[in-house]
Amino acid sequence: MSTSASTPSAATGHARFPHLQAVIFDWAGTLVDHGSLAPTQIFVDAFATFGITLTLDEARGPMGLSKRDHIRTLLEDAGLQAQWQARFGKASTDADIDAIYERFMPMQIEKVGRYSQPIPGAVDALKALRGAGLKVGSCSGYPRQVLDVLLPQAKADGIEADHVVAGDELAAGGRPGPFMALANVLALGIGDVRACVKVDDTTPGIEEGRRAGMWTIGLSLSGNETGLTLAQLQALPDAAVVAHREAATKRLMAAGAHLVIDSVASLTKALAEIDARMARGERP
């Protein structure tokens, strides 16, 4: 039987989200680690061992890329490159990127577990998706060695995906390319990328989902774009929270997000909106 052009080729048929098949998540700042502190702080610490001063805001700039690409992008910044040249008397090279990465990796592996706590609402959101018959994929800028530490701890706290792709294990590369998202499509047996939703707290992660042909939901307050722990966020006056939300939403929408919500605690409502838009014939 042929399928109409406006209907996913393998619709789920589940009553709650009948037009959707899978949700693909990022990890830090999306499911765990409110504020996405684990990767940012370790970048600051790793660069400091080379005598280079890197602020948390600077470290956040390329967040979402694979960690080696993240380091490369940081060193392309004029200010950091000037620091490097002042300290070492020459421009940074690929060998220097490798050296920083090799310094970064054991520090990240050692400390990632400290930041593995689920973001409030994440456990319930995953239960709701599975209860609705949706598959749960995931990908990360973290290399596999780091995920091998993070994933068991997250699982113990109720956070688990059906499939996980690490930022260093695809020959085609990582974000903002579509490759990790599409690897989830293949592994999960999804019949139509248009029935997938990518959820991410970074602009490269949103671009990844759009390039893969998926719906995309950005997270404004729980992740990299705001960069605050839950306690720090809750301590802010309402006006400051509104300002953070508006600034993050603007950046995520500019990257191509179809919707932006505060955190995964609001995910099921956002998915219902996307499903309704699909029922009206809209496609990502």
Give strand pairing partners of 164: 138
249 contact partners, CB below 8 Å, separation of at least 6: 218, 220, 260
Active site residue 26: yes
List 26, 201, 262, 275, catalytic entry: 26
List 33, 67, 69, 192, catalytic entry: 67
Closest CA to 146 of 28, 31, 60: 28
How are strands ordered across the β-sheet holding 215-219?
163-165, 135-139, 22-25, 196-200, 215-219, 259-261
DSSP H helices in the chain: 37-48, 56-60, 67-75, 78-88, 94-111, 122-131, 144-156, 179-188, 203-211, 230-235, 238-254, 267-279
Active site residue 262: no
d(CA 20, CA 214): 11
- Give me the amino acid identity at 51: G
Active-site positions?
Answer: 26, 67
